[in-house]
Each structure stands twice: as structure tokens, then as C-alpha cells.
Chains A and B, each alone.
Chain A
Amino acid sequence: MSMFHIAGSTIGSGGASGVTFANIPQQYTHLQIKIMGRGTASFSPGLSAYFQLNGDGTAANYAVHGLFGDGSGAYSSAATSAGTMSIQQALADSSTAANIFGVAIFDLLDYTSTTKNKVAKIIGGWDRNGGGRAILQSAVYFSTAAITQIIVGTDGNLVEGTRVDLYGITTSQVTGA
């Protein structure tokens, strides 16, 4: 086996401002986060999913680029000084019909490296029966520090039923887990 569930959280009644993965173990090579989420803010094109690394909210330390399709066209975007690794319009908002969530898979390679800036690849999307988008996005955290903490959030709060899971991926054979 090479992929292991490190931690996960299902948001309960009342919602939550975010999910924090602290003290991330350093024995893996890559990390993956899977989110199925919805936020309390209202913006029908969709809410961003935010990934803040190592508690660093310095805007200039992040950049993001995206490739999107919304059913009527394809678009490209870029943002420097992004403040977080943000996935634009990836999650359902409060104006969306009940029980609809957005989905994203966030892959971060070589998260323990002390020589590489941290680059994530995100595939995600959602459909709201009249809107939504498909997403391939990149995001970079301009820091060579090993990643020990990731905070996942959105615009407003994450609502009940949102699920966020963190996985570790090894490059060597591991048994017994």
C-alpha cells in the first residue's frame, strides 16, 4: 500500500469556519486532500476553496492559475499575491439548491522538500442544474519549508455535510497499515 488516510473531518450541525490539519506527519512523499463542500456565503457562480499552508497568510507568498469550463466557454485565469492556494468557484454556495456540494481533489507533491516551492494541482468542479464549472488549477506557495499544517476554508463557513480528508502517499513500500 502507498496511500494512507491521515485525518478527516465531516462538518456537523452549525458548520465550521474551516478544517485544520495540524502536525502533519512527515513520513510521506506527497499529500492529497479531497473535499466535498459547500459554504454559507452567497455567490451563485460558486465559492472558492482556500488552502492556507503553515499558517502563512502573506499574500505575496501565493500564486494561482486556472483553466475552467462552465458549459458555455473555456477560460484561463492568473493571480499573483493570492493570499492562499485558492480554488476559484469550486464549492456550492448558499443560493444553490439543498444537498448540492462541490468537489475537488488537491495534490501536493514533495511536501517535505526543503528545496522546492510547493506546487499543488487541483481537479474539481460541480454542477448546480443550471450552472457550475469544471476546473483544472495550479497553485504555488513560495516557500521551501516542509508543510506541517494546512487550513481548508471557504467564503463564510463550511456547512454541515461538508467533508475534508487528508491522505499521505509514499514512494516506498509500506506494510502493516
Chain B
Amino acid sequence: MAYAMVPIFTQTVTSSVTSVVFNNIPSIYTDLKILISARATSNSAGTGLNMMGFYFNTDAYPTSSSFRTLFGTGSSVSSTNNSGYGDAGTISDSSQTANTFSNTEIYIPNYTASVFKQLIIDSVNENNATAAGQKLSANLYRNAASINRIAFDTSSSQFAAGSTFTLYGIKNA
């Protein structure tokens, strides 16, 4: 089976921003994959505990989103669930070692199919101390619309300069 991963868009944050958006996502691929290297400008949730959120199309803070996570903090493990927004994984924050950005992969299968969307996300942040996060997240978006726009924000103020977001399209044929 032929397989191709094609870069669609890259967003590089040059000065702090509250959101990063991919608009006009083409519908010619089978799956989407997003690689994110990001850092937040503050630390509202505590060291290593800050997160990124996402939403599809124009459906901001949708009641049709829910997720479950497995999260390690460097000293403890927990599993949580929540709804009303999408969990795009953990993000490095301002209290962690300078110049250190989180590492996240988001995989969105069948983004154009007329079915609910299920995402898998693995992400980590790092720190020269005990507190750093590793997170697995499964997200459900109970909407069968094709995805043509993805927006990201963070629980911790803004994305710092140097954060990068790259959207890839994956074809299975």
C-alpha cells in the first residue's frame, strides 16, 4: 500500500499569541497528523501541568467534545476525563527550564469521513527538575462534519515565541 505524509502548513510563533489556527485544510488526505513544539508564557496550572486545547471548524468549546487522559508528572500518575473542550496535550510553561519546549504528536484519522472524530495524542514537556509531564490523551468529537479548520490555545496564557505547529496530511493510497 502506498503511504505518504505530506506537510500542509507550518505555523511558527514569532511573538506571543493566544491561539494558533490552521484554516482551509484540504480534504484530499485520509488522516491528519500534527507535530507541535510549544511553550506557554505563564504557569497558571502549576509546573509541568499546563495543557493545550483545540477545537475543530468554528465549534469553540463544544459540548460535543470529551476526552480521557493518562498523565505522569515526574512523581505521580493519574487518569482523568473531562468534556466541553479538546485536550491537545501538555505544554512547557514559564516555570520550567528556559528555552525548553514541549513535544507533541496529534493523530486524526478519517478527518473527512461522515463519522464522529476520534483523536489520539501523545505529548511531553521537560524540565531540569522533578516536575515534567508525559500525557496520553484520547479525544472524541461527536460531530460528523469534515474537519477544515483546527485552532489551538493554551490553559496558560499564550504560546511563546519559537513555538511551531506543523500539519501533515497522510494518504493511504
A contacts, CB < 8 Å to B: 1-3, 29-30, 63, 65-67, 74-78, 80, 107-110, 113, 115-117, 119-121, 123, 136-140, 142, 144, 169-173
Instruction: Kindly report which residue of chain A lies nearest to residue B71, judged by CB atoms.
Output: A67
A63 to B124: give the CA distance in the assembly, Å: 13
Total chain B interface residues with beta-carbon distance under 8 A? 43
- A140 CB contact (under 8 Å) in B6, B73, B100, B164: B100
A142 touches B128 (CB 8 A): yes
A-B residue pair count with CB separations less than 8 angstroms: 133
Check A119/B7 contact, CB under 8 A, given A74-B70, A74-B77, A109-B35: no
Give chain B residues whose Cβ lies under 8 Å from the Cβ of A140: 97, 100, 126-128
Q: Is the interface of B mostly helix, strand, loop or mixed?
A: strand
**Which of B22-30, B49-57, B130-138, B147-155 is the interface stretch?**
B130-138
Ranked nearest first, the 4 interchain pairs of A and B with the lowest CB-CB distance are: A67-B72, A138-B124, A140-B126, A78-B74
Q: A110-B101, A115-B99 are in contact. Are A138 and B125 (CB under 8 A)?
A: yes
Listed residue (B7, B75, B133) with the most chain A CB atoms within 10 angstroms of its CB: B7
Please measure, in the bound complex, the distance between the C-alpha atom of A63 and the C-alpha atom of B132, giving whole angstroms.
10
Q: What are 14 of the A-B contact pairs (CB < 8 Å)?
A: A29-B166, A74-B77, A80-B128, A109-B101, A116-B162, A119-B37, A121-B104, A136-B72, A137-B124, A140-B100, A140-B127, A142-B97, A171-B10, A172-B10
Assuming the contacts A109-B37, A109-B103, A119-B100, asked whether A67 and B75 have C-beta atoms less than 8 A apart, the reply is no
Instruction: Assess whether B126 is in contact with A75, with CB atoms less than 8 Å apart.
Output: no
Tell me whether A76 and B77 are in contact (CB under 8 A).
Answer: yes
> Is B75 touching A173 in the complex (CB atoms < 8 A)?
no
List CB contacts (< 8 Å) of B84-98 with chain A: 92, 97
**B interface residues with partner A (beta carbon < 8 Å):** 4-7, 10, 35, 37, 70-77, 92, 97, 99-105, 122-136, 162, 164, 166, 168
Q: A2-B168, A136-B122 are in contact. Are A65 and B132 (CB under 8 A)?
A: yes
Question: Within 8 Å CB of B76, what residues of A?
Answer: 76
- Contact partners of A2 in chain B: CB under 8 A: 5-7, 168
A117, B4: Cβ atoms under 8 Å?
Answer: no
Contact A63 B128 (CB under 8 A): yes
Contact partners of B128 in chain A: CB under 8 A: 63, 80, 140, 142
Q: In the assembled complex, which residues on chain A have CB atoms less than 8 Å from the CB atom of B97?
A: 117, 140, 142
